[in-house]
Amino acid sequence: MVGGVGYTDIKSNLVAGNSVINLGSPVVDSVNQGPQSDDTFHPVITGEINYTFGNRWQAFLGTSLDDAVTLDGVTQLGVRKDLGAAGVLQGGVVFSGMPTVVWEDPYAEGVRREETDRDSTGLRLQWDRILGSATEFTVTYRDVSIDTERSGLGVTSVACDRSCQDLLLRDGDQFFFDASCLFRLGEGRRHLLRPMVRYTVDNRDGDAISGDAYWFQLSYVFLGQGYTVASNVAVGSASHDARNPIFGVKTDSDRLAVDTTLFYRLPTESGRGQAMGSVLWGEDDSEVAFHDNELFRISIGAMYRFGSRGQHTSASRGRAITSWDR
């Protein structure tokens, strides 16, 4: 389990935070303006509870560090099975344990925008150490639901009738396909490299929100004596099926993210405690300034491992994925 405190600075006209973090300006004067910076301090709580049965079965519930770097607090309830030489198979239900808060109408001009929850539920299937290799493949399906959807209703500088608003509907399905491979290098095999590629299909009710995206990430982990350093560099791009009727162009974007996390083993008798500190920066550079996003986060805390140690930890896997919620 991880507990601590974080500082987040975000620039976004689309996201208002979550049930813990309250960010973003409720008023925009014009859809032609880019997002303004807003920041806050907040608690950081994440981790996984698991129970190991006989015959290499394990049940688990929690939020991984992989998902915790986003404002979308994905929680997974599932089981994993160690198949020996065949690898480790894992499946579960994913849901919004901490729903993202967005705006009912992000394009409403000159008025106070109302907040609404963005919920999601779905399934995740993961196969790690495939047939004894260092390869991993993950498929995730999520059904995205906006509690109150009014996109385009409050824009005044552009005419947006019902057909226009239909193009902006954010409800729908998401499919994520991840493939990665772990390489252990150097003396003592203490240098870990994991290249990863993600392909995302967004099948939303609105064609201007639907589209697909590619994400390429290189993770590096150094396993030191009493400490671990995990770093990630990622680039990607997203394209949409139709033009956004508010702007007359597609809100395609290029994405970039970098992060570094340090884990330091605390000098306790049990040896199960670690201090941790993390820095994350990411941006989404859209064709339309209104849709630009930028995130900067610093967090510090402590991690304590209860029970027996598992074979896989977030540090040793060395992964973090940054995404922006629409």
CA dist 52 and 80 (Å) reads 9
Number of other residues whose CB lies within 10 A of the CB of residue 114: 14
Eight-state DSSP code of residue 76? E
How far, in Å, are 43, 224, 273 from residue 306 at the CA level?
21, 22, 9
**Residue boundaries of the structural domains of the chain:** 2-317
Would you state the pLDDT for residue 49? 87
Q: In angstroms, how far is the first alpha carbon of the chain from the final one?
A: 29
**How many Cβ atoms are within 10 Å of 326's Cβ, its own excluded?**
24
pLDDT at 277: 95
pLDDT value, residue 54: 83
Contact between residue 121 and residue 93 where contact means Cβ atoms under 8 Å apart = yes
Task: Tell if the pTM clears 0.85, that is, is over it.
Answer: yes
Secondary structure of the chain: what % helix, strand, coil (to 5)? Answer: 10, 55, 35
Query: What's the token pair of residue 315?
Result: 């540090």
* Tokens of residue 186, six digits: 């150097």
The span from the CA of 82 to the CA of 90, in Å, is 9
Concatenated DSSP letters for 216-261?
A: EEEEEEEE-SSEEEEEEEEEEEEEESS-BTTTTB---EEEEEEEEE
CA geometry: angle 253, 178, 98, nearest 5 deg: 75
Structure-block tokens of residue 109: 């001009």
Q: Which CATH architecture has domain 2-317?
A: Beta Barrel (2.40)
Contacts (Cβ under 8 Å, ≥6 apart) of 235: 215, 216, 254, 255, 256
Which segments of the chain does DSSP mark as H helices, in order? 65-68, 162-166, 314-317
Q: CA 109, CA 325: separation in Å to the nearest integer?
A: 21
Residues with pLDDT less than 50, the chain: 68-71, 309-326
Q: Which helix (H) or strand (E) holds 39?
A: strand 37-52
